[in-house]
Chains A and B, each alone.
Chain A
Amino acid sequence: MEKILRDKKAIVLFIAPAFIVFTLILLIPVVQVVYYSLCSYDGLMKPTLIGFKNYKDLLLKDETMRIALKNSIFFMLFSAISQQLIGFVLAVLLTNIKKGRNFFKNVYYLPCVLSSAALGLLWAFMFNPKMGLNQILGVFGIEGPLWLVESSGLIPLPMWVIAFVALWQYVGQTMMLYMAQITGLSTELYEAAYIDGASKAQAMRYITLPLSKPMLKTTLSLNCIGSLKFFDLVYNMTQGGPNHRTDVLATHLYQQGFKFFKYGYASAISVVLMILCLIVTVVIDKSIKIDNYEV
């Protein structure tokens, strides 16, 4: 094996398929999208270069883009905070119980493996004024709000509803990642702490939390990037309505590309989305410092 790995031709041969596939299905499309974002392109005729007009229109004139950007950032902040907190607490609780751990682990993780399209429709039915939640509230004489229709406020009610559904769906994933991290911590550390007189809360504060930091970086990046490019639940629950009030960047992109045949403009949205993802990743990477502990 070592002999093979010393052979540069063999190395090239082994790397080539993955490199070619990666280049063709990722790198070239990304470059293409950046090029199309500088063009007027309807996907049917040849693209014509128009410089930064798409970006100017997008950032200066497009009212829906402002709404979509605001909603995407809200969604990212909400998901990042809520999923980190709840996911971590659930992970700590489940790693500390002996009975029913697997049961609860499966219960919390189950929504994560179900189809978002099916869940979106299911929750759309649940929040439909004529069925589901409002019917239950009606039994108690409470008139429920129009969960997926209210359009007032900086962040309209449907966005909160979708954010809560997304939290319900994906918190299991964050929990599982934290559980993997916490269960990997040495029990000797905790035993030593307890011998030194530390309480459970102190052990958590001074051992579990700092040693979970590497996973914080990973889960936070996953949460934020996933939230920024979120599409399926929004599309299946509100289609961005009423009147674009719940549009996010991905639904706006989809509509511009596939409804209006504005592939150049849609490409510009996707470039903005990509840049946002990169910025968020860099900010998370730079702001969370991981100390190396000898465990």
Chain B
Amino acid sequence: MKKKVVALLLSALMVVSSLAGCGAETTGSGDASANAGGNAGAAPVADGEVQEITWMFWDDLEATEDLISQGYKQVIDRFNEEYAGVYHCTPITTNLEEYDTKLNALVAAGDTPDLFICNPGPNLTQYVNAGIAADLTDILQNQNADWYGTFTDGIFERITYDGKIMAVPTCFAAACVFYNTQIFEEADAEVPTTYDELLASCQKIQDAGYTPISCSAGTAWCLSMIAGYLCDREGGPDNLAQVNAGEIDWTSETFIAAGYKLQELSQYFQATAAGDSNDQATANFYNGEAAMLVQGSWAIGQINGNNPDFEANCGVFQFPAIEGGADPNRMIVKTDNLVMSATTEHQDAVVALMKMFTDETAQKYIAEVGGKIPVTNVEVDYAVAPAQLSYINDILQNMTGTLGFYNESLASVEAGSTFDNAMVDIFLGNKTPEDAFGSVQTFYEDNVWNQ
């Protein structure tokens, strides 16, 4: 009998131990503020014990050549040094293409990192709606008013939901056209201000034996950034606002016209654009194989980090106007944002890390080394900053309005992906602009407007 009891106990133990770790419970009450408030400062940590936090980021901090990523690594190192024995941060890193899927897997497993980087728009919205992101309004506006006061005006606009601030930005970037001055000179091409001039310059560059534009359709958002600019130049900002509100169709005139222009422009992309990743397309540009690259100003850190000699030959101009189209001085802009997990048990440590990401040292680095635009009112020495940052600042002086990435300005992550795929279909020649935008229309009819 005794043996049977022992055997039974051992069997039960085996089953239980095999299931250990499978019991992760997903978060999500749907009430972000309740979550954040409920856990505020509730760190069940014994005195003298180091509070361990995790931060998830979309680049390998050890291997990266990107200057912005290197700056983030310095922040983590500084944090771990300054708070040695009190707090410690372990970064969780992955490549950009797989970032969202890996983060979502961790979230779904109930293992949300204490702090993670996030794009604005539907990506952030889904974490806000699911109660994954903590409400930072009280932390910023009441508990740390001095810190909050350092941020530039309006920087929280796209990360505020119903008056609640759900993230902290670390840097700001604007999408422009980077160009190789040497190739332009050699091909006798002009810096274009209109779409027709852009086509003329592309032709001259192609005739001179260079690839006019380096673009990644393998990383679809790169292609859809060009498509987004074309849509906006054709009929923005009204067309985007109206289509999201269901007042016009995706098959309306401005979108179709933008589709045909994308088709026209894509004949000047490199032959491998369909499969090239964002990194490969950017490398084509800074290695001198292509004359132009349409990218956000985060690419400055990547370009100068990988090929410092190229900085002197890298010019910047704003995406050209379409004659008879809409306002040409609107810019695609976005911020990198830090989102605090609503379930973190180490809120003080996370806030300390967020402060370090936005302190004077980090923000000066962002501008003066990385070439991105700081989010705080820090004094920047433009004499030491990358030359491209000054060009972008000049362009921003004429800016009349902003828009987010097109795929991040739509109804959901899937809507953005549907738009991206439609643009890739136009580029590949698999669909006409009418059919491609027709597929976005169908998605909106089925999943957005009629829901």
Contact = CB atoms under 8 A, between A and B. Distances in A.
Interface of A: 9, 13, 16-17, 20-21, 24-25, 42-45, 57, 61, 63, 129-130, 146, 148-149, 151, 239, 241-244, 254-255, 258-263
Interface in B272-322: 272, 274-275, 280
A119 to B, nearest CB: 18
Given A44-B27, A149-B274, A261-B126, A63 B4 contact: no
A97 B8 CA distance: 54
A111 to B, nearest CB: 24
B413 interface: yes
B14 A44 contact: no
B14 A243 contact: no
A44 B26 CA distance: 6
Of all A-B residue pairs in the complex, the 5 with the closest CB atoms, nearest first, are: A149-B275, A44-B28, A44-B130, A43-B108, A258-B101
Interface string B5-37: 001100100110011000000111010000000
Nearest to B97: A239
Contacts of B27: 44
A133 B414 CA distance: 36
Contacts of B352: none
A45 B30 contact: yes
A17 B15 contact: yes
Given A9-B4, A44-B107, A241 B130 contact: no
Nearest to A256: B414
B413 A259 contact: yes
Nearest to B431: A243
A7 to B, nearest CB: 10
A242 B274 contact: yes
Give the interface centre of A57, A61, A244, A258 by most chain B CB atoms within 10 Å.
A258
Most buried by A among B8, B15, B18, B100: B15
How large, as a class, is the contact surface on chain B? 35 or more
Interface of B (DSSP majority class): helix
Contacts of A45: 28, 30, 130
Given A44-B130, A44-B131, A129-B271, 16 more contacts: A21-B18, A24-B19, A25-B18, A42-B126, A44-B108, A44-B132, A45-B30, A61-B446, A63-B439, A146-B275, A149-B275, A151-B430, A258-B104, A259-B100, A259-B417, A261-B126
Contact of A17 (B14, B26, B280): B14
Contact of B413 (A17, A149, A239, A260): A260
B13 to A, nearest CB: 10
Interface string B415-451: 0010001001100101000000001000000100000
26 contacts: A13-B11, A16-B11, A20-B15, A21-B14, A25-B18, A42-B126, A44-B26, A44-B131, A45-B30, A45-B130, A130-B280, A146-B271, A146-B272, A149-B218, A149-B274, A151-B428, A242-B217, A243-B421, A244-B421, A255-B101, A258-B104, A259-B104, A259-B417, A261-B126, A261-B130, A263-B108
